[in-house]
Structure 1
Amino acid sequence: MTASAPDRLRALLAKPGFVVMPAVWDGLSAKLAASAGFETAFLSGSCVAASRLGGPDLDLVSFGEMLDSFQMVHNAAPRTLVLADGDHGYGNAMNVQRVVSTYGRAGAAAVLIEDKITPRALTAAGKPCLPREEARMKIRAAVEAAKESGILVLARTDCRPTQGIDEAVARIEMFVQEGADIFLLDSPADEDEIRRAVAAAGGRPSFSVLSPGAPRATPTQAEAAAMGYKIGTFPTGMLSPAVAAMKAGLAALAAGESESSAALPPPELRATLGYGDYDAQAKPFITG
């Protein structure tokens, strides 16, 4: 019997070594990550917002859109262990349960649930968070719903910028008590805060966001592993180069050229997209 995605992720996390988890948003990004040898991927809300809305990640993407994106990712790379971004659960604790159950049934290996307030204030700045006990109940609801499929729960706290590191560490300890599997402190200021958060996880895996550019400590992969992180994701790791390449392609067209100098040779592009695979799979069904 084939092991489930959550069980396979548990086995991977039990092995030594730092897990590099690219952020994906659609079938092509998932397929490329899998072809490059990555066993895991993060279905990133910020990447989905960029690709679907052409805009920033400011709680405008719906759960239905995220689930549709997950299905594209899962269909294109069915063996990839996907961490689905459940954001704030799209409502109260009962909404959280629906999100966790739905992702679990759909084949996700893990789901992220955070403690931000929704709907957000009408500003791009700041991440106000729920009171501690309301945050507890969201994670409690997530852990309870996860029992159906075995999906892992990643509990994230965003309260560091608004309520301080002591409160953030206390929330991680609380999420451990509630039975979450993986933990994320958003926006750590420095190495000391990272080490405090990792210690608060009590030996369970800690998750890090390592793309540069945001106002947070951003260690290298080697530094993150040395500090005790188990998983690192890179939300702009593919997205930013993809945007740069598209801009270069458009600039080449505007300059009267046929393609950018960075474009793949046509045979490589066709191979990457799977034209040959289609022909091989269709061959048994050709008549005559």
Structure 2
Amino acid sequence: MTAPERMRALLAKPDFVTMPAVWDGLTAKLTAGAGFATAFLSGSCVAASRLGGPDLDLISFGEMFDSFNMVRGAAPELLVLADGDHGYGNAMNVQRTVRAYGRAGAAAILIEDKITPRELTAAGKPCLPREEARMKIRAAVEAAKDSGILVMARTDCRPTQGIDEAEARIRMFVDEGADILFLDSPADDGEFQRAVAAAQGRPSFAVLSPGPGRRIPSREEAIALGIKIGTYPTAMLSASIAGVKSGLAALAAGGAESEMALPAAELRTTLGYGDYDKEAKPFLPKG
């Protein structure tokens, strides 16, 4: 089965899908090793790891695609939802983005309706006019036919244009053939419920990490609201930053490592030194 086919089969099951957010080979390998079938290549996590900064549409297609290839190489069986952002341009750019990720083995791709380039402020998420947003999703769905990659359509318009417009866009994206729907920044449970109803039986996606300006349900609450997929962009990122800070503090204090550090043997096992030796053995020169 292809990655998109496996993703469809996963979403057809009754279970809630927990989708950790990854950004490189190590986080992908650890996620797969922990038993997760799927992960989200998060733009915010890639921005943090590559730029050392926030996710404000500064990451390029090339940088995101390079990160995807790292993830894919380290954990080839992991079903990856790629963050395609706004498609990096108009509808034709969207098609190029979708086709590239489809050829590379992504299971699904997110396309959103924000305006690009964004205004020179960290606040707000101005969005495209409705019909222009429609054409971007139409272009994505058309391009997805080449590989079967699933299209997640995201609307960011709720904070600036209200829930009525956001609900209308979700219904429009369903009409255009989007496979998964994502309302960004819902204010309360009622808005979640409206978004799920507008998805008309197709899976709904939600960010369940803590963050400002939105209702953040627990896993159990999300299931009760009808959410099918939950992602947690800060779950590993925040813990990783805390770990690095702890290591640096230990060095500054004259130590060799933090109390949080893995034992040396566990670190080597996690990184795969033994696996390398096993795979290299058939190629050792005789004698």
Provide TM-score, normalisation by structure 2. Answer: 0.99
2:180 paired with 1:182: yes
**1:146-161 residue pairs with structure 2 within 5 A?**
146-161=144-159
Q: In the alignment, residue 241 of structure 2 is paired with which amino acid? A: V
Query: Could you tell me which residue of structure 1 aligns to residue 236 of structure 2?
Result: 238
Matches of 1:121 and 1:24, distance apart in 2: 27
Query: Could you tell me which residue of structure 1 aligns to residue 170 of structure 2?
Result: 172
2:41 paired with 1:43: yes
Q: Which of 64, 71, 75 is the matching residue for 2:73?
A: 75
Q: In the alignment, residue 35 of structure 1 is paired with which amino acid? A: G
In percent, how many aligned pairs have the same letter? 78
Q: Which of 87, 90, 98 is the matching residue for 1:89?
A: 87
Q: CA deviation at 1:274?
A: 0.2
Matches of 1:20 and 1:105, distance apart in 2: 25
Q: CA deviation at 1:97?
A: 0.1
**1:197-236 residue pairs with structure 2 within 5 A?**
197-236=195-234
**1:95-106 residue pairs with structure 2 within 5 A?**
95-106=93-104
Matches of 2:219 and 2:56, distance apart in 1: 27
Matches of 2:80 and 2:224, distance apart in 1: 25
Matches of 2:245 and 2:235, distance apart in 1: 16
2:70 paired with 1:61: no
* Cα deviation code 1:26-53 (max 9, x no counterpart): 0000000000000000000000000000
Equivalent residues, number: 286
Query: Could you tell me which residue of structure 2 aligns to residue 7 of structure 1?
Result: 5
Unaligned runs of 5+ residues in structure 1 are none
Q: In the alignment, residue 82 of structure 2 is paired with which amino acid? A: A
Matches of 2:197 and 2:253, distance apart in 1: 55
Q: In the alignment, residue 219 of structure 1 is paired with which amino acid? A: P
Query: Could you tell me which residue of structure 2 aligns to residue 129 of structure 1?
Result: 127
Q: CA deviation at 1:214?
A: 2.4
Matches of 1:213 and 1:15, distance apart in 2: 29
Q: CA deviation at 1:237?
A: 0.9
Unaligned runs of 5+ residues in structure 2 are none
Matches of 1:18 and 1:73, distance apart in 2: 23
Q: CA deviation at 1:215?
A: 1.4
Specify the SS of the correspondent of 1:123: coil
* Cα deviation code 1:193-225 (max 9, x no counterpart): 000000000000000000002210100111101
Query: Could you tell me which residue of structure 2 aligns to residue 120 of structure 1?
Result: 118
Matches of 2:176 and 2:238, distance apart in 1: 36
Matches of 1:261 and 1:98, distance apart in 2: 47
User: Cα RMSD between the aligned structures?
Assistant: 0.4
Matches of 1:209 and 1:106, distance apart in 2: 25
* Cα deviation code 1:107-158 (max 9, x no counterpart): 0000000000000000000000000000000000000000000000000000
Specify the SS of the correspondent of 2:235: coil
Q: In the alignment, residue 180 of structure 2 is paired with which amino acid? A: I
Q: CA deviation at 1:75?
A: 0.4
Specify the SS of the correspondent of 1:188: coil
Q: In the alignment, residue 54 of structure 1 is paired with which amino acid? A: G
